[in-house]
């Protein structure tokens, strides 16, 4: 019994130390994706940030900004929840970071459920979202609220769309299922002339995003599942759902791809175990032979 208690004590101490380490560090997670119209010798890099929740790595995020510069991205995409709506001070932390990012390369941001709840729940938040939105624009970051922008990655035309789904689809109790028609109502029908990247904060509806026509979905929201088990994935979401299907990895089906980031911050449940925060880097490479 004594040996068991001693072992359990050591395990708790080690787990606590690992949690503390992971809450103050992040890693760069790299993925590679081919583009059909990009020439073989070409490469372009896109960085994806999500779920910062006002977290700072070093004073005013200097460590994070340094690493982003070192990655030399062509574009930066943001997946939402860069602030925590119940902590007003996190707005300024997000805005300071945005100002730095816009000086590195073009930046396009979608909203997560925290920004969207500020936007739609006027009784609770008043004009906070409108002021935040104007401040985001003033940093040089382009905000995609159920809107799209057309870009080029090498010779590949790309459309980036920022999607806001009904808030009822985030509900912890009796969550509404998202319909493909609801996506089309918000952002239009996907057109196949361009490679379609969809910034969709909630990964619970990846199959609907793919059916709508997304070639690549970039999501976050679940913070990697808080605790991860090798070979299994995330254990529990911040919404207390066990073993989410999509919690932090690359998933593929019938030519469609989804990358779910483990995110950069936490809120409410301030725990990470075997689940390091991440800056997500996607390198697109050419698969087209040179004429």
pLDDT above 70 as % of the chain? 97
pLDDT above 80 for 289: no
pLDDT above 90 for 39: no
How far apart are the C-alpha atoms of 270 and 274, rounded to whole Å? 14
Is 186 strand, coil or helix?
Answer: helix
pLDDT above 80 for 287: no
pLDDT above 90 for 41: no
pLDDT above 70 for 288: no
Which DSSP string corresponds to 122-153? HHHHTTHHHHHHHHHHHHTPEE-SSEEEEEEE
Q: End-to-end distance of the chain based on CA atoms, in angstroms?
A: 73
Comparing CA positions, the residue from 258, 219, 255 lying closest to residue 80 is 219
Report, as an integer, the average pLDDT of 140-151.
98
pLDDT category at 81 given cuts 50, 70, 90 is very high
DSSP state of 268: S
Please tell us whether the domain made up of 2-288 is placed in CATH 3.30.2130.10.
no
Report, as an integer, the average pLDDT of 42-60.
97
Report, as an integer, the average pLDDT of 194-215.
98
**For position 13, what pLDDT does the model report?**
84
Report, as an integer, the average pLDDT of 164-185.
94
**For position 90, what pLDDT does the model report?**
98
pLDDT above 90 for 191: no
**For position 253, what pLDDT does the model report?**
96
């Amino acid at each position: 019994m004594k040996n068991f208690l001693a072992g359990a004590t050591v395990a708790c101490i080690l787990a606590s130390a690992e949690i503390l380490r992971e809450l103050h560090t992040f890693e760069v997670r790299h993925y590679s994706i081919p583009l059909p119209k990009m020439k073989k010798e070409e490469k372009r890099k896109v960085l994806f940030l999500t779920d910062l929740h006002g977290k700072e790595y070093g004073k005013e995020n200097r460590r994070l900004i340094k690493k982003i510069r070192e990655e030399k991205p062509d574009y930066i995409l943001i997946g939402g929840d860069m602030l925590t709506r119940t902590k007003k001070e996190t707005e300024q932390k997000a805005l300071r970071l945005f100002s730095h990012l816009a000086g590195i390369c073009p930046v396009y941001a979608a909203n997560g459920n925290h920004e969207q709840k500020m936007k739609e729940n006027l009784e609770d938040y008043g004009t906070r979202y409108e002021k935040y939105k104007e401040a985001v624009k003033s940093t040089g970051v382009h905000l995609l609220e159920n809107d799209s922008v057309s870009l080029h990655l090498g010779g590949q035309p790309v459309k980036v769309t920022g999607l806001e789904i009904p808030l009822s689809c985030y509900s912890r109790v009796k969550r509404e299922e998202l319909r493909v028609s609801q996506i089309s109502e918000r952002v239009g029908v996907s057109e196949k002339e361009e490679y379609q990247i969809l910034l969709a904060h909630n990964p619970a509806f990846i199959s609907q995003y793919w059916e709508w026509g997304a070639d690549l979905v970039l999501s976050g929201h679940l913070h990697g599942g808080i605790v991860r088990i090798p070979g299994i994935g995330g254990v529990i979401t911040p919404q207390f759902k066990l073993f989410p299907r999509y919690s932090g990895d690359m998933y593929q089906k019938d030519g469609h791809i989804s990358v779910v980031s483990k995110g950069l911050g936490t809120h409410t449940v301030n725990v990470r175990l075997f689940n390091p925060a991440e800056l997500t880097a996607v390198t697109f490479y050419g698969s087209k032979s040179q004429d």
